[in-house]
Amino acid sequence: MNQISEILEWFNRAVPSPNERNFWIQAGCDAEECAEALAALGLGEEARLLDNVAYDLKTSPEFFTVEGVDRTALLDAICDRIVTGIGMAHMLGMDIQGALAEVNRSNWSKFVDGKPVFDENGKIKKRPGYSAPELWRFVKEEGQ
C-alpha cells in the first residue's frame, strides 16, 4: 500500500462519514502544520498569525461554510501544497517517503482498540501509549 492510500485508510477509520464541521477542523489542522513549518524556518511572527487562524478554524467551525467554494480550485491548491512540500523536503535532502511512513505509524498509535478518541474540538487525541514519529532518521544534516 502506498503512503497516500495508508493516510486515506487512517482518515476513513477516524472519520468514516465526514461532515462540514470535520472539514473545517481538518483545515485548521492543516493551517496549524503550516504555522509549525514557518516557526521551524525562524518566521515566528508569521507563524503566530497563521496559528491564530488555525485555532479559529478548529475551535469555531460553525462560523465557516463550504457553500459556494470552488472545489476544483481548492483541490488544485491542496495538490500543489503536497507537491511543494515534497519539493521542500527534496531540496534539503530529506527522505520524505520514509518520513511519511513513520508519521503514518505514529498516527495509527493514537487509536485505542482500532478506533480514534476525539477531544472536545473534534481533533484525535494522543492516547497513553502514543508513539511520536522519530523523524530525525530521515533528515540529512547540512554538509552531508
What is the model's pLDDT at position 114?
Answer: 86
CB neighbourhood size of 91 (10 A): 8
- The span from the CA of 135 to the CA of 31, in Å, is 21
Could you tell me which residues come within 8 angstroms of residue 74 by beta carbon, excluding any fewer than 6 positions away?
none
Q: What is the mean pLDDT of residues 123-141?
A: 91
* Matching residue, cell 497513553: 128
What is the model's pLDDT at position 123?
Answer: 82
**Average pLDDT, whole number, for the chain?**
93
Percent of the chain past pLDDT 90, that is, above it, reads: 81
- Of the pLDDT bands very low, low, confident and very high (cuts 50, 70, 90), residue 128 is confident
Residue 1 pLDDT > 70, yes or no? no
What is the model's pLDDT at position 38?
Answer: 97
Residue 43 pLDDT > 70, yes or no? yes
What is the model's pLDDT at position 55?
Answer: 95
- Backbone torsion region of residue 92, taken as left when φ is above 0, otherwise alpha when ψ lies between -120 and 50, otherwise beta: alpha
Could you tell me which residues come within 8 angstroms of residue 27 by beta carbon, excluding any fewer than 6 positions away?
57, 64
Find out whether 94 and 138 touch, Cβ atoms under 8 Å. yes
